[in-house]
Amino acid sequence: MRSKSLELMKEICTYVGSYYRSKGSSPSLSEIAKGVGIAKTTAYRYLVDMNERGMISYDGQTIETPQIDKCVSGYFSAPIVGSIHCGDPETEEEHVEEYVNLPESIFGKGEFYILRATGDSMVDAGIEDKDLIVIQKQDTASVGDIVVALDEDSQNTLKTFAGIDEESGYAILQYENHCKYPDKEIRVRELVVQGVAKHVIKAL
């Protein structure tokens, strides 16, 4: 099944919100399709999918406005793409579990995805097993950033980027559990950064 475009979802939200504010009612399926330049069947599939993701409320005829207002005024949708091991590097297959709406006022602007942490190597950084980590997609990092890193063996892990060793040229990924893993680190010849952790979502 072809994956849905998040950009097109945002266009649909923007159009429906604008239409409602000017007309006082939800646009028809034909109007949505014409407004964003897609086929009616495509518009219907997107509306059903967006309803399932919680981005809007759609009953086949009308779209409820509270969800529209959230969609177009400071919220963005981020996918939960599975887990990442907070321990030794481990290959993970990216798989979207679900999409969640996050407010820009708290999480900022950018392209984000969410990973579920497993393991205990990052507890001193406030990241524990089963926490949700909000990752900003980027391929660069500064010393001290907590990164999703892909090493030269195509394995990924969540660690603190501690810099480059001047003598060997290796990148250093630092564990953050000094009781269990004192001074433990991973050294890689070529480090590929897939994103930087920005927020932790956890249950109390």
Residues of the chain with CATH 1.10.10.10: 6-73
Q: Could you tell me where in the chain the CATH 2.10.109.10 domains are found?
A: 76-201
Q: What is the pLDDT of residue 135?
A: 93
Token couple for 133: 């980590």
Residue 155: Cβ-neighbour burial (10 angstroms; 0-12, 13-18, 19+): middle
Which structure tokens are listed for 175? 């564990």
pLDDT band for position 87 (50/70/90)? Answer: low
Is residue 91 scored above 80 in pLDDT? no
Domain 6-73 architecture: Orthogonal Bundle (1.10)
Supply the angle between the helices 6-23 and 29-36 in degrees, to the nearest 10. Answer: 120
pLDDT per position as a tens digit, 34-82: 999 999 999 999 999 888 887 788 888 887 655 555 555 566 778 888 7
Nearest partner of 32 among 60, 4, 3, judged by Cα: 60
Model confidence pLDDT, tens digit, residues 97-114: 888 878 887 888 888 999
Write out the E strands in the chain.
75-85, 98-103, 112-118, 132-136, 146-150, 156-164, 171-174, 185-188, 192-201
Cβ contacts of residue 161 below 8 Å, gap of 6+? 141, 142, 143, 144, 145, 146, 147, 149, 171, 172, 173, 174, 191, 193
Catalytic residues: 121, 159
116-167 tens-digit pLDDT: 898 999 999 999 999 999 999 999 999 999 999 976 677 788 999 999 998 9
Q: In this model, does residue 1 exceed pLDDT 60?
A: no
CATH of the structural domain 76-201, one choice from 2.10.109.10, 3.30.530.20, 2.40.50.100, 2.30.110.10: 2.10.109.10
